[in-house]
Amino acid sequence: MDWGLKNRLSKIIQPDTGRAVMLAFDHGYFLGPTHRLEEPEKTITPLIPYADTIMLTRGVLRTSVDPNADTNVVLRVSGGTSIVGPHLENEGITTSFEEALRLNVAGVGISVFIGSEHERQTLLNLSELVNQGERYGMPVLGITAVGKELEKRDARYLSLCCRICAELGTHIVKTYYCDEFEKVTSSCPVPIVIAGGPKLETEMDVFNMTHSAIQQGAIGVDMGRNIWQNDNPVAVIRAIRAIVHENESAEQAFKLFEAVKNGEV
């Protein structure tokens, strides 16, 4: 791996822990003004200090993130479809490498829709990004999207998706947590981070999922709604950081969550 690629990767996966806390708020690229992300700058600014990287589109980066902010960016570069259109999975590459370099990002992210009518196109899009990523020293995050079919999130399907992303050369894979998650991580030769998915009922559900994912081989999270749709988002992200980077249990994370929420720390 070339120096530039290694250096960028070290901004995403922290060299001291080998883990990653990524804050995802790219949802608007197909969902529009998602609940609690109607005004991205207001929602996200307080959370930035607690994320190793932020994951978003170039539009929200330019309009809603201070260029002086001490953060690293993973840029969403796929899209072209919406939740109300006929084929959510019919994505293309939306943002050039020149633009990613101009924006000084640490990595680029793209969804693949395996098993869909547009599987081949999205996998070739990923492959094209990897070709360019190797040329310019830019890590590529492959995202195993399921679109509206949330029930697809089982170990058999996600193992298939993660392994295909790795075989095509992606440097990190983002997928969903599922039962028997160890099967997914053990058969994927590149690091895996988990998305949070739709908002869970309780904070303990989020902390238990994060802790189990780490125990079963994930290197971190690339999480959105379960952080910024919570009434106490800073408390949630700080608790998640403690699980990911300090190996804290879900119970310890909950105590930290309560302490931050109550202004004690």
Catalytic amino acids? 174
Closest CA to 26 of 58, 65, 70: 58
CA distance 164 to 106: 23
**Rounded Cα–Cα distance for residues 21 and 19 (Å):** 7
User: Would you count residue 196 as binding ligand 5RP (CB under 6 A)?
Assistant: yes
CB of 27 to ligand 5RP, least distance (A): 6
20 strand-pairing partners: 220
252: exposed, middle or buried (C-beta count within 10 Å: 0-12, 13-18, 19+)? middle
**Strand blocks (E) in 62-217:** 72-76, 78-79, 92-93, 107-112, 140-144, 172-176, 192-195
Is 209 or 242 the residue whose CB approaches ligand 5RP more closely?
A: 209
Is residue 197 a contact point for ligand 5RP (CB under 6 A)? yes
Parallel, antiparallel or unpaired: strands 53-56 and 20-24: parallel
The number of residues that bind ligand 5RP (CB under 6 A) is 15
Confirm or reject binding of residue 89 to ligand 5RP (CB under 6 A).
Answer: no
Dmax (CA) for the chain in angstroms is: 52
CA distance 167 to 121: 16
All residues at 6 or more sequence positions from 67 whose CB lies less than 8 Å from its CB, including other chains: none
Q: Does residue 203 belong to the site contacting ligand 5RP (CB under 6 A)?
A: no
The answer to the question of residue 245 lying near ligand 5RP (CB under 6 A) is no
- Tell me which stretch binds ligand 5RP (CB under 6 A): 84-92, 162-170, 218-226, 243-251: 218-226
Measured from the CB atom, the residue of 223 and 250 that comes closer to ligand 5RP is 223
> Mask: binding to ligand 5RP, 13-42, rule CB under 6 A, as x and -?
-----------x-xx---------------
Closest by Cα among 235, 234, 236 to 226: 236
Among 145, 164, 240, 256, binds ligand 5RP (CB under 6 A): 145
Stretch that binds ligand 5RP, among 45-53, 223-231, 234-242, 255-263 (CB under 6 A): 223-231
> Token pair of 45, please?
């600014």
Residue 118 near ligand 5RP by CB under 6 A:
no
* Total residues found in the chain within this entry: 265
CA-to-CA separations, 19 to 118, 218, 243, in angstroms, rounded: 32, 8, 10
Q: Give least dist CB 262 to ligand 5RP, A.
A: 25
- Does 147 interact with ligand 5RP (rule: CB under 6 A)? no
Among 146, 222, 241, 243, binds ligand 5RP (CB under 6 A): 222
- Per rule CB under 6 A, is residue 165 in the interface with ligand 5RP? no
Q: Give the footprint of ligand 5RP on this chain (CB under 6 A).
A: 24, 26-27, 55, 111, 143, 145, 195-197, 222-226
